[in-house]
Amino acid sequence: MFITPHFTLDEMTVSQIAAREGLDNTPTPEALANLQVLCGALERVRALFGTPVIVSSGYRSSALNRRIGGSPTSQHVLGLAADFTVIKVSPREAVRKICDSDVPFDQLILEFDRWVHLSVVNGTPRRQVLTIRKGTGYLPGLQ
């Protein structure tokens, strides 16, 4: 099932850990509605770069989020966040270009220089940009 023209429900909910351990990762109706907002923002990221966006983590059920050690307040649990890479674009460059665009985001995080975390909100976004590296915690801006 396509949520938007380029993003499917399967890719936004797939988890090897959930499959292996029998964890249900089916989004609630509210999370599914939020995924539509999130995928709309991801469509804009895709258009900005003119290349596919590869989602490594989208929606996570509470059980899956706990199992992988995610934050209890993770926007992934609400269907409002995704971790991704952009084909042939470094995560740092992706964050830089998204920051300078009109792509709607609440948080944009360069995580470990390996992927981008983007979250959205139903309301006014903060447009908060952070960087996280091993042992540093979250740092403001693109570090």
List the CATH number of the domain containing 64. 3.30.1380.10
- AA letter at 98: I
Q: What is the mean pLDDT of residues 52-79?
A: 97
Q: How many domains are contained in the chain? A: 1
pLDDT grade, residue 136 (50/70/90)?
confident
Q: Give tens-digit pLDDT for 100-129.
A: 999 999 999 999 999 999 999 999 999 999
**CB of 98 within 8 A of CB of 110?**
no
Is the per-residue pLDDT at 39 higher than 90? yes
pLDDT of residue 48 exceeding 90, the answer is yes
pTM of the model: 0.94
Domain that holds residue 110: 2-140
Structural contact between residues 57 and 68, judged by C-beta atoms closer than 8 angstroms:
no
